């Protein structure tokens, strides 16, 4: 069995190649409609967070929840890709894995929405 090429690299060369793989993953994520929508929305929300936040911790919470949604979406897409790679036939465990990935995205979206609604209400009325 062949080992991963990244395992053969050390030091800054390993970091350089790992960063390349990460950007390759982001490019792959761009081809997923949900991730693309969330990324484009983040281009609006992240600067807006800096406007409505009253303290730096509030800005971190607002930005952090947006980034968390994108992270969760990428992980969900990775799970779905692995399940699809295993085989096209339906299996209970495959369905469960995909459903749990989708549930993780839902929870991250609810958290993000709750944090943002709270911050906007606080900014608007106080």
| Residue position matching structure tokens 């390349």 | 20
Please name the residue that has the structure tokens 């967070």: 49
- Of 26, 20, 32, nearest in space to 80 by CA: 32
Mark whether 80 is an active-site residue. no
3: helix, strand or coil: coil
The tokens for 62 are: 């607002």
Residue among 32, 38, 58, 73 flagged as catalytic: 73
Neighbours of 70 (CB within 10 A): 19
Active site residues: 73
């Amino acid at each position: 069995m062949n080992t991963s090429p990244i395992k053969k690299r050390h030091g800054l060369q390993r970091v350089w190649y790992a960063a390349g793989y990460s950007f390759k993953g982001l490019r792959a994520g761009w081809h997923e409609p949900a991730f693309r929508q969330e990324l484009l929305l983040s281009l609006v929300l992240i600067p807006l967070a800096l406007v409505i936040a009253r303290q730096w911790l509030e800005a971190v919470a607002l930005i952090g929840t947006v980034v968390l949604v994108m992270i969760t979406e990428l992980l969900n897409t990775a799970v779905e890709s692995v399940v699809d790679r295993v085989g096209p036939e339906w299996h209970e465990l495959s369905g469960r894995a995909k459903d749990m990935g989708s549930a993780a995205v839902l929870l991250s979206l609810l958290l993000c929405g709750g944090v943002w609604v709270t911050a906007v209400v606080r900014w608007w009325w106080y």
